[in-house]
Amino acid sequence: NGAAADPLLTSAEVAELLRVHPKHVYRLLRRGMPARRAGGKWLFSREEVLRWAEESDGRAGAAPSVAAPSQASWTGTTEPSPILAGDDDLVVEVLLGQLRQRGQPLLGFLRADRAVGIELVAMADILVAGWHGRAPPPRLGVRLARLHLVEREVGFLLRPGLQLSRLEEVRGLRVAGRPLTSGLHEVVDAALRNAGLDRAALRSATPLESNLAVAASVVRGEADLGLGPRTWAERFGLGFFGLGFEAYELLVAASALGDPHIVRLCEVAQSAPLREALTTIPGYRVTKTGELRIEPE
């Protein structure tokens, strides 16, 4: 019909369109503003957003005529749930175990991809999210504090009987792995480039939801290789071909650092017992364990 396509906007562009603080966009998502996910990001139809904002005027506080809200208005009245969202890495299991030994206040756990976890922190739904990879986390309008846990070795878990001496030998092998939003892929892509290979060399299967699922797929013989941390190869008695190291951190909104759950979390992360426990686990480097960095304004 010749009509121009409705442009898709990023969350930052929606904030500018509606004249609200960038963090407020995630509040509006929770109130029903239409959006779709692509490549781990939220995208918005300009036409749908304006229509929704007009219909919500006076109820959601999202009309384009509304000036940017104060910090009090976008932080909401409810506190984030005391939950840590992350993948099923052993470092998280050990950390939460030592938190339980210390008693209240406790943190719950939600298994989630890193892209989901950081969005939940940005929306103030939860307190903590795991983040791993070589690239820094996106800002999403939230000033973050980053608590370093370990550098973990990642690579290929090998099915029983399989041995690799060179990365080039992965050609044609069946590979189980995580979604492309996982930071693991930053390590494997760099290793493939260094070896003169590309993704076409891997017969990648449908992404699996957890490191446990990847390891189980290799054990059952459904995949020849599984992309994951060395710790999971050790757990299942599988061979391992290392590709490199990546940081595993916990992300917290800087404004939440005074929360009692976060204070206790930092105490445990910076404690000698945690460091001692982690040094016994193959595939972890603990030289920076417990370091806390706050992103600049």
Per-domain residue ranges of the chain: 8-69, 83-297
Distance CA 207, CA 215 (A): 12
Residue recorded with tokens 């396509």: 5
Please report, rounded to a whole number, the percentage of residues in the chain having pLDDT higher than 70: 89
pLDDT at 252 over 90: yes
Higher pLDDT, 22 or 92: 92
**Mean pLDDT for the chain overall:** 86
Q: Which of 15, 18, 27, 33 is nearest to 63 (CA)?
A: 18
49-80 per-position pLDDT tens digit: 888 888 776 444 433 333 333 333 333 446 88
Q: Kindly report, residue by residue over 278-292, the tens digit of the pLDDT.
A: 999 999 999 999 999
Quote the CA–CA distance of 8 and 175 in Å, as a whole number: 34
Q: What is the pLDDT at residue 201?
A: 79
Confidence of residue 44 (pLDDT cuts 50, 70, 90): confident
The residues pairing with 157 across neighbouring beta strands, listed in sequence order, are 226, 240
Percent of the chain with pLDDT over 90: 55
Helices (H), the chain: 11-18, 22-30, 46-56, 71-75, 90-102, 114-122, 184-194, 211-219, 230-236, 260-269, 272-279
What per-residue confidence (pLDDT) applies to 40? 59
How many Cα atoms within 13 Å fall on the side-chain side of residue 113? 17
What is the predicted pLDDT for the residue at 212? Answer: 95
Architecture of domain 83-297: 3-Layer(aba) Sandwich (3.40)
Give the CATH architecture of domain 8-69.
Answer: Orthogonal Bundle (1.10)
Read off the tokens for 57: 């005027």
Three-state DSSP at 81 gives strand
Q: Is the pLDDT of residue 181 over 50?
A: yes
Residues 285 and 297: their CA atoms lie apart, in Å, by 30
What pLDDT digit, counting tens, does each position of 261-273 carry? Answer: 999 999 999 999 9
pTM value?
0.76
Q: Three-class SS string for 35-49?
A: CEEECCEEEEEHHHH
Same fold, 8-69 and 83-297: no
Q: How many CB atoms lie within 10 A of CB 169?
A: 13
DSSP state of 121: H
Integer Cα distance of 96 and 106 in angstroms: 8
